[in-house]
Structure 1
């Protein structure tokens, strides 16, 4: 059965692949090898399969090589763009810091001017009240003098009428005339003195009115100047507060809750920057006092923000030369353990590069950690913790209080690590957050 099948196959293939004979000649004789059509077909099929496999394998290798080369180039370009962006952010951070310093200087100068203008305004107000009191006294005196003058005139008329009506008296007409003239001289002198006093008082009253008008004009000028100063102060406070609000919101922290926590921790009071209050007589606050209170409230918020910023990790733990080698989030494990969550940032740099605390706090761990190698953990306010791992040397101890910028260790390669770098984590309420959020948020303010 197999022989018949082979015969039929050979007969069919013989039209395309005729039988071939390969002669081999030697000293003993001549031999030949017969290549049937089916044998040739099998040989051709095996050769074609080998050729196809070789072509596919070569193509796969070439594609892998090309993709690997383009991936490295793309990674290099992305690294270059990332470093350029970091340099730009660093430059912008420095500019923001300079602008903040200049804004603070302008604010201090404006606050000093407001204090001086407020003192001048209070002095002018006291002077105006004194002039109003003087004017009232002068007007009362003038009214009294006019009344006395009218009474004297009435008395003269009465005396003159009485003299003219006198008859049958033992006094002679010449004596009565002398008495009347003497009386008239006395009354005339009194009236002249009264008129002079009246004129002097009217002149004083006119001068007082002119002084009051000048003081009122000066007061209006002071009010306009104070209004301009208040407007500048309000603008400065608004411009200074907005970046701080954005910084804490970008870090995922509620500014209102943060300010309440800082206020509870720093509840002491002092002399400077106390708000204006109404007088003990129950008077209402003036518009300027209301605006001043709003500015002082903004300054108080800025001061609380400053305290919160010092207590929060808005800083870079590495100040020397470095590059980011791994970000926050899921990644392929460098030890080949599959895809895993990377809960921090990796800063690669020279062995022994100083590592600094990013905020004020207390060291709660300083030693060897599983997978972290030599590590330091610092507890900050507001439920924030920072962790610094893979150190070559630890320079703090548990329970030690540190400040922002203090050197806490050196960069190394301890623990589960493939090279010298710092693993930096930020946790809020025990949950890891992206440290780059804090670094970028601070770059817009400090």
Structure 2
């Protein structure tokens, strides 16, 4: 009995021990796992914190770099803006100079035209250049940049960011990717280059116009001198005696041109003496009796010089030239002047005598009618009478004379000079 009881007690004690050991082992394992988990979790958190800290530092560094880039781009934009401002100011100054030069070219061309001297279309038409106004921006391919004025610094137009979508896709007819847009700064630079090239072309056109005028003046001067040489008059003496009769005047404002400033100024300066010479010759030509006394082609029946007198058949001096024409044909003044005789005058019949400049006079004789009065001022081409056969005449014709200081000279000289000038100047 006692032995049985003792064995049962031993068995219970062993089971309890095993249970206790199992529980202890389980508790120990749980404690170890818990400790490992806690330690593992802390390490993971530390690594996560370290990674986020590193990422934060990287972002801050990137932001600093981007800020530096923005500052650099802003500084560059200001420098580019200042450069554009300087370029626009330079172009505006050159355009103002171009306009001033064109006014000189126009003045020269208009003065020559008013004197009846033909010039080319390049000199006639002013160059219409589009000037930069203070209130007007330069526009080039959608970019606006204002000229430098006191109102403020030039400001580039804001660039609109394109939306991504259907509008960004190439058109059906295009192949490949769409062409990248040109930066605004590059478009502004291209516009300024185009303006600069336009000014250069305009400046070259002005210089070409002056050289064309110089060539025209040279040809006109040669033609005038050649025509005046036909009259066998001392043109230098006549030009010195020639006075201005038109109503002109005003204060003297000299035009100072420095020939060393450039080819334009040098060419314009060289034009001044030639213009003065041509104007002097032109003024002299306009005061001489160089036109025809009858309309149409002249038909000569008796020339100037010695001939057989039509009535006596003896040798005699014919002081003029006889021009055949129908009775009543219009007779016109061959140059501007003043009527000093308008009456019947012996063998001349009905005669008109006109006093021109520099001691020259012309006579128109044998007319059937006198249509001007004594003291009347006439111009070249004025109707002064009609062809007839009054006085010492054998038939209807016009007796035409040219006299210098009262002495008869050959009128053919002046008619030949007039023929050379017809349609030339």
**Which residue of structure 2 aligns with residue 438 of structure 1?**
414
Tell me how far 1:342 sits from its aligned partner. 0.9
In the aligned structure 2, how far is the partner of 1:392 from the partner of 1:220? 66
Structure-2 change in CA distance of 1:383 and 1:267 (3 Å) = farther
* 2:229 is aligned with 1:253: no
* Equivalent position to 2:123, from 111, 117, 131: 111
Whether 1:413 aligns to 2:389 is: yes
Counterpart position of 1:262:
242
Equivalent position of 2:322 in the other structure: 346
Is the contact made by 1:275 and 1:293 (CA closer than 8 Å) also made in structure 2?
Answer: no
TM-score, normalised by the number of residues in structure 1: 0.50
The 1:266–1:285 alpha-carbon spacing in structure 2 relative to 1, beyond 3 Å, is farther
Helix, strand or coil at the partner of 1:324: strand
Deviation string 1:398-441 (CA, Å, 9 cap, x unpaired) is 11111211111111112122222111000122221111111111
Residue of structure 2 equivalent to 1:428: 404
Would the alpha carbon gap of residues 207 and 319 (structure 1) be closer, same or farther in structure 2, given more than 3 Å must change? closer
CA distance 1:346–1:122, change in 2 (3 Å): farther
Instruction: Name the counterpart of 2:375.
Output: 399
User: How far off its partner does 1:359 sit?
Assistant: 1.0
> Superposed, which structure 2 residues align to 1:57-206 within 5 Å?
107=119, 109-113=121-125, 116=127
Q: Which moves more between the two structures, 413-422 or 215-224?
A: 215-224
Is the contact made by 2:402 and 2:410 (CA closer than 8 Å) also made in structure 1? Answer: yes
Q: 1:389 aligns with which of 321, 340, 365?
A: 365
1:165-195 C-alpha deviation (Å, 9 max, x unpaired): xxxxxxxxxxxxxxxxxxxxxxxxxxxxxxx
Partner of 2:224: 244
Report how far residue 319 of structure 1 moved. Answer: 1.1
- Between the aligned partners of 1:290 and 1:257, the Cα distance in structure 2 is 30
Count of aligned pairs: 267
User: Which sits farther off after the overlay, 285-294 or 337-346?
Assistant: 285-294
Q: Distance in 1 between matches of 2:284 and 2:127?
A: 32
Preserved CA contact (<8 Å) 1:276 1:289: no
TM-score, length basis structure 2: 0.52
CA contact (8 A) 2:207 2:263 kept: no
Q: CA deviation at 1:336?
A: 1.7
Aligned counterparts of 1:105 and 1:322: Cα–Cα separation in 2? 27
* Structure 1 residue 255: Cα displacement: 3.5
Decide whether the 8 Å contact of 1:426 with 1:434 is kept in 2. Answer: yes
**CA contact 1:276–1:292 (8 Å) conserved in 2:** no
Contact 2:127–2:202 under 8 Å retained in 1: no
Unaligned runs of 5+ in 2: 1-111, 134-146, 150-185
| 8 Å contact kept, 1:259–1:301 | no
Q: Which one has the bigger helix percentage? A: 1
CA distance in 2, matches of 1:337, 1:104: 48
Aligned-partner Cα distance in 2 for 1:383–1:240? 26
Does 1:277 pair with 2:256?
A: yes
Greater shift in the superposed pair: 350-359 or 262-271: 262-271
2:235 equivalent to 1:235: no
**Where does structure 1 lack aligned partners over 5 or more consecutive residues?**
1-99, 124-130, 134-205
Contact 1:412 1:421 in 2 (8 A): yes
1:214 shift after superposition: 8.1
For 2:226 and 2:298, the matched residues in 1 are separated by 27
How far apart, CA to CA, are the structure 2 residues paired with 1:210 and 1:322? Answer: 66
Residue 350 of structure 2, aligned match among 358, 371, 374:
374
Q: Which residue of 2 aligns with 1:314?
A: 290
**RMSD of Structure 2 on Structure 1 (CA):** 4.2
- Distance in 1 (CA, whole Å) between partners of 2:341 and 2:261 is 54
1:316-354 deviation digits (Å, cap 9, x = unpaired): 111157621100111111112521111111012222221
1:294 offset after TM fit, Å?
3.4
